[in-house]
Chains A and B, each alone.
Chain A
């Protein structure tokens, strides 16, 4: 009898778990990426690990530094490939895409399941009603050996987003609004349950944008209900049986926040903190040098479809470099098939490898000193994109694309007037 998190943890350990309990819990899927898996391999060996508990439930994605820009990175990738072969893990190599797109896209995430990943944005899978959270490399190694991890059941903050979003306002604006309101540590150690009419109206892709940013409030998970949209998304991706989990009526919450978003404006996060969120009017007119559309937050088909509609027949400002990274091979192919890539490239966009490069500052679009970047990513920390003397603003794909044309941060609602 409890919140979604308590229900999922209880079902996994076979007894009632309430917030604050510490449990050893079996995990349904484990994910590592190239930036964290090398340390996992070390820890796995140091722990005396001989084999992976269930190799069919373990994927490694080479996405953070891909394709390798350096010898040292190539050698790390080589180690990862060897390890995955030795232990029969699922490997998604360079160009397959960003881990947080690949893992749900390939059907590895099921409603009511429990997933850990050695990447903080693992909470993205909450959009599929999964208790999914980021852990470190050593925690991941322990789970690879034992099939389990330890968890402290979190208390829950329920967010109910009611109303309907105005034209030109998207799920990214909801995500930024959420982080701005809760702040960077407003939900530390807690679960977020995110629901309401606004969430019900969004596609799974758009919902992932919001769950993805749950960690920016300090939250452990950002979990949503399992509805027909989730079932539809999973059709053709998995043949496994699953059962969505909802909170019981007597669930106890630390806090319930009701928020009508019918008048929400496009939101922008200013340098250098994600929770430094303002309505677009406060920063409109700021000159930009680079615009980046992609990442595990906003690199999905719907995002590029929105961007391409704004870019079609237009030219990116001469002062702006527009860099685009589809979040997966599948998304890139769909962008080609639907003419989205054509529109973006003709408008002046530069397409880079499906992966994380520009967002984490490893490759593919490092800004110069003093430059301003408008990005659809989830973090704008100083130095995040590889140069600590650059200034990163975060916004929706619509705001990003429209601003790329104008050369200054611009309100995409102007197009709908």
Chain B
């Protein structure tokens, strides 16, 4: 899953976790396929129906701010989104994505337009905008996150190592 291909669905700055999945749904059920139907509903009604498997959510600054609800990245993942690409991320959301194995890419998104076709190379940390024929470098993930994402998320990481399998044991 180092190379991902899909279309861009573009959102603005400060997309909070209430917009990603509203509290009125997230407390009701643990069925992520059900929650997926309401992803981004308050910002873009009907968004769920427009997602094709592997598409990307593209956003500006501070994506995922607000609540710590892990239902937010889980619902995005269940909706078929391949990765979230943003100028910057809120920290809890960023961690949650890595922990559940949803790729996040931090890069300049200002030139990506709605519907652009993108190629994402997670290993090299590059986003190639096929439509605009433009390549964008991404901020590298911290080493600890590369390890966790490489194992498929924190659950798999813990299963594999029986705990934190990261050096620097405190």
Binding site for B on A (CB under 8 A): 12-14, 22-26, 34-36, 38-39, 42-43, 46-48, 64-65, 70, 72-73, 76, 118-120, 122, 134-139, 141-142, 145-146, 148, 150, 152, 184-185, 188-189, 218, 220, 273, 360-362, 366, 379, 381-384, 386, 388
Contact, CB under 8 Å: B99 / A139: yes
Contact, CB under 8 Å: B68 / A188: no
Within 8 A of A (CB), among B1-34: 14, 16, 18-19, 22-24, 26-30
B67 CB–A CB distance under 8 Å:
yes
Known contacts A72-B28, A185-B65, A360-B27; is-contact A136 B92 (Cβ 8 Å): yes
Pick from B42, B90, B159: contact of A382, CB under 8 Å = B42
5 smallest beta-carbon distances between A and B, as pairs: A185-B62, A136-B96, A13-B170, A138-B99, A47-B158
Chain B residues with CB under 8 Å of A65's CB are 27
Chain B residues with CB under 8 Å of A42's CB are 30
Pick from B26, B42, B90: contact of A388, CB under 8 Å = B42
Contact, CB under 8 Å: B95 / A136: yes
In angstroms, Cα B169 to Cα A150, docked, is 10
Contact, CB under 8 Å: A138 / B70: yes
Q: A110 → chain B, closest Cβ, in Å?
A: 19
In angstroms, Cα B28 to Cα A386, docked, is 13
Q: A203 → chain B, closest Cβ, in Å?
A: 27
Chain B residues with CB under 8 Å of A218's CB are 62, 65, 90-91
In angstroms, Cα B68 to Cα A160, docked, is 28
Q: A97 → chain B, closest Cβ, in Å?
A: 17
Q: Whose C-beta in chain A lies nearest to the C-beta of B148?
A: A150
Give per-residue flags for B58-90: 1 if the beta carbon is below 8 A from chain A beta carbons, else 0: 000110011111110010000000000000101
Chain A residues with CB under 8 Å of B26's CB are 35
Q: Whose C-beta in chain B lies nearest to the C-beta of A118?
A: B68
In angstroms, Cα B90 to Cα A135, docked, is 12
In angstroms, Cα B80 to Cα A316, docked, is 49
Q: Whose C-beta in chain B lies nearest to the C-beta of A49?
A: B158
Pick from A12, A43, A184, A366: contact of B65, CB under 8 Å = A184
Central interface residue in B41, B62, B143, by most chain A CB within 10 Å: B62
Pick from B23, B67, B70, B166: contact of A39, CB under 8 Å = B70
Give per-residue flags for B38-67: 1 if the beta carbon is below 8 A from chain A beta carbons, else 0: 000111000000000000000001100111
Q: B24 → chain A, closest Cβ, in Å?
A: 5
Contact, CB under 8 Å: B159 / A150: no
Task: For the complex, count residues of B whose C-beta is within 8 A of A.
Answer: 47
Contact, CB under 8 Å: B92 / A381: no
B155 CB–A CB distance under 8 Å:
yes
Chain B residues with CB under 8 Å of A360's CB are 23, 27
Contact, CB under 8 Å: B68 / A384: no
Chain B residues with CB under 8 Å of A135's CB are 68, 92, 95
Contact, CB under 8 Å: A47 / B159: yes
Offer 8 A-B interface pairs, CB within 8 angstroms, sorted by A: A47-B158, A47-B159, A48-B158, A119-B68, A146-B158, A185-B62, A188-B91, A220-B91
Q: Whose C-beta in chain B lies nearest to the C-beta of A70?
A: B28
In angstroms, Cα B170 to Cα A179, docked, is 34
Chain A residues with CB under 8 Å of B170's CB are 12-14, 23-26, 148
Q: A2 → chain B, closest Cβ, in Å?
A: 16
Contact, CB under 8 Å: B154 / A138: yes
Q: A233 → chain B, closest Cβ, in Å?
A: 25
B168 CB–A CB distance under 8 Å:
yes
Known contacts A48-B159, A188-B90; is-contact A381 B62 (Cβ 8 Å): no
Pick from A36, A48, A138, A386: contact of B100, CB under 8 Å = A138
In angstroms, Cα B99 to Cα A42, docked, is 13
Chain B residues with CB under 8 Å of A34's CB are 27
Q: A28 → chain B, closest Cβ, in Å?
A: 13
Known contacts A360-B27, A382-B19; is-contact A134 B144 (Cβ 8 Å): no
Contact, CB under 8 Å: B61 / A142: no
Contact, CB under 8 Å: B99 / A136: yes
Q: Whose C-beta in chain A lies nearest to the C-beta of B100?
A: A138
Q: Whose C-beta in chain A lies nearest to the C-beta of B72?
A: A136
Give per-residue flags for B108-132: 1 if the beta carbon is below 8 A from chain A beta carbons, else 0: 0000000000000000000000000
Q: A98 → chain B, closest Cβ, in Å?
A: 14
Pick from A23, A26, A70, A382: contact of B168, CB under 8 Å = A23
In angstroms, Cα B24 to Cα A136, docked, is 19
In angstroms, Cα B158 to Cα A65, docked, is 31
Chain A residues with CB under 8 Å of B103's CB are none
Chain A residues with CB under 8 Å of B169's CB are 24
Known contacts A136-B95, A185-B61; is-contact A383 B163 (Cβ 8 Å): no
Pick from B42, B66, B69, B164: contact of A35, CB under 8 Å = B69
Q: Whose C-beta in chain B lies nearest to the C-beta of A120?
A: B68
Contact, CB under 8 Å: B143 / A22: yes
Q: Whose C-beta in chain B lies nearest to the C-beta of A71?
A: B28
Q: B44 → chain A, closest Cβ, in Å?
A: 12
Contact, CB under 8 Å: A362 / B24: yes
Contact, CB under 8 Å: B24 / A137: no
